[in-house]
Amino acid sequence: DERSLVIADIPGLIEGASRGRGLGHRFLKHIERTKLVLHLLDITYQSDKDILEDYTIIRQEMAAYNPALAQKPQIVLINKLDLYDHEHRDLGKLRKALKELGVESLPISALTGDRIKELKRIILERWEPVRAWR
């Protein structure tokens, strides 16, 4: 397959980014040029509530900066599946909460490569309609 695309890594945004806090405006300008947003969440974070709260803050910052950012196609990647503690965390519950927010999620392990092929397939599926739309 000879398709190629550009992927940019935008460092974590912070609360207040839409008002210029930190490097917020610089990072948000980069997101304006994207066709697909991948949010990377850390499954080893303290609690599902904290993960969802941080995710919601980032989404609010994007929408406050430019409402069109909140409308971009997105996928939430739940990373560090290799460190996932089945006894203390319910991955299904987190994925259900994200689904209730209208967000597709995919658990992955960047370290081991678990589900990365699936991620590539999903990215290309989402990218093709956007590319054809241009």
Q: Is residue 84 part of a domain?
A: yes
What pLDDT score was predicted for residue 130? 54
**Is 125 domain-assigned?**
yes
Question: Do the domain assignments include residue 29?
Answer: no
Residue whose C-alpha is closest to residue 77's, from 34, 131, 120, 35: 120
Task: Specify if 44 maps to a domain.
Answer: yes
pLDDT of residue 33: 81
Q: Say if 19 falls within a structural domain.
A: no
Going residue by residue through the chain, which has 134 residues, state the pLDDT in tens, using 9 for 90 and above.
666 676 767 767 777 777 777 777 777 887 888 888 899 998 887 677 788 888 898 889 889 999 998 888 889 999 999 988 777 678 888 899 999 988 999 999 999 999 999 999 999 888 766 555 45
Question: What length does the chain have?
Answer: 134
Helix 48-65 to helix 24-32 angle (10° resolution) is 80
C-alpha to C-alpha distance for 28 and 34, rounded to whole angstroms? 10
Task: Specify if 25 maps to a domain.
Answer: no
61 in any annotated domain: yes
Q: Which domain holds residue 99?
A: 36-133
Reading the block at residue 69, the tokens are: 């950012």
pLDDT, residue 131, reads 55
* pLDDT reported for residue 77: 94
**Residue 47: predicted pLDDT:** 76
Number of domains in the chain: 1
Q: Per the domain annotation, does 26 fall within a domain?
A: no
Sheet holding 74-79, edge to edge: 37-42, 74-79, 104-107
- CATH number, domain with residue 87: 3.40.50.300
- CA neighbours closer than 13 Å in the CB half-sphere of residue 67: 0
